[in-house]
Structure 1
Amino acid sequence: MKIDRPLLFAPQRWAWGGLDAVFSTAAPADELVTNVHVAGFVGDRIVVCRDERYGWFLPGGTREAGESIGECVAREPAEEAGARLAGELRWIGAHHCVSDRPEPYRPHQPHPEKAWLWCAAEVEIVGEPGNPDDGEQVVEVRLAAVAEAQALPGASADWMPDLIALAVESRG
């Protein structure tokens, strides 16, 4: 698989978060998961969000204190895309990260190791993004054709096309 997705599986430096990250299809320990993102599909289109800081991204974000992964998966797409799950959640991989920051991003998070979980599911758009004060301020939600989503500029533009391709493959 690494041969087919060289940018996704390459070691990465996420300078904005002080993180060294490596993508893997190996499951992270539940207690290491700090962030959950969902490649949401509506028919043959994928849900993408845009904020003014980073560009286009797949909905998801930070797990709250005491929140299960399932609760985070339900909350984040609603907050960022006005979406809810309409089908089975498929786990597709995780970025296993190590932080060089002296403290965790939020006090309840593991440190210095953490994981960002990536999932895929069929979703429905049922409203507007919630845009909570402490989250990304989404200015646009789009149902994009897969090729369009892979070409949109974003914070993770170099490896995001590979991740989207993996999400499409997870649909069977």
Structure 2
Amino acid sequence: MDDPDARFPALAGETYVDYARARTRYVTGVAKHELVTRLHLVALTHDREVVVCRSAEGWRFLPGGTREEGEALTDLARRELLEEAGATLLGDLHHFSAHEVDSEREQPYRPHFPHPRSYWAYAVARVEITGEPLNPPDGEDVVEVLTLPVLEAADYLWVDDPIHAEVVLHAETLGLLA
């Protein structure tokens, strides 16, 4: 796994994520599936628009989230797409990058997570919006789901999440959104 292209400054270098008490570094390639604790998706509709979400608190993000115990990554993607975007996964996931995460916690965040190193992975997924977000009680309260052309999706995300914005652009430069 390599560092990303210099065109993506929000993805470059090491970052400390306070809420996770971890140091992260964005890397390209596919993380070992057993080490992935989170997955976010560049979800594409049939007209190749990117699915983006907005929470009741106003946060903009790509659909995805935390892995449950024993959950396969495809099942994680299916669950998070339904919960946050009301979308159905139509095919395989195409994993292309991740944040390599080195925790400073004494124990893993959840007992089934690898520790101290794990990965927060990114994948491209073909989807269809089939309903409203499920909004489970333990998740985000999603109030808006949009499908936008790639550059508009990146601009939309940039407001709150430059990392997710640049993940979309990185996927585009790799030719994954064609």
> Are 1:36 and 2:42 counterparts?
no
Q: Shift in Å at residue 130 of structure 1?
A: 1.2
CA distance in 1, matches of 2:69, 2:82: 18
CA distance in 1, matches of 2:58, 2:118: 22
Alignment RMSD: 2.0
Structure 1 counterpart of 2:154 = 150
> Are 1:159 and 2:171 counterparts?
no
Q: Shift in Å at residue 36 of structure 1?
A: 1.1
TM-score after normalising by structure 1: 0.89
Structure 2: state its 5+ residue gaps.
none
Give the share of equivalent positions with the same residue, in percent: 38
Q: How does 1:82-121 map to 2 (within 5 A)?
A: 82-121=86-125
Match of 1:51 among 55, 59, 64: 55
1:60-115 CA-partner distances (Å, limit 9, x unpaired): 00110011112111111111101112244211111110112232222211122111
Structure 2 counterpart of 1:73 = 77
Match of 1:134 among 129, 135, 138: 138
SS of the equivalent of 1:108 reads: coil
SS of the equivalent of 1:94 reads: strand
Preserved contact between residue 54 and residue 155 of structure 1 (Cα < 8 Å): no
SS of the equivalent of 1:13 reads: strand
In the alignment of these two chains, the number of paired residues is: 172
Preserved contact between residue 38 and residue 120 of structure 2 (Cα < 8 Å): yes
SS of the equivalent of 1:65 reads: coil
SS of the equivalent of 1:71 reads: helix
TM-score after normalising by structure 2: 0.86
CA distance in 2, matches of 1:107, 1:135: 19
Give the partner amino acid of 1:166.
H
Moved more, 62-71 or 145-154: 145-154
Give the partner amino acid of 2:80.
E
C-alpha distance 70-147 of structure 1, shift in aligned 2 (>3 A):
same
CA distance in 1, matches of 2:160, 2:26: 13
CA distance in 2, matches of 1:77, 1:23: 23
Q: Shift in Å at residue 29 of structure 1?
A: 1.9
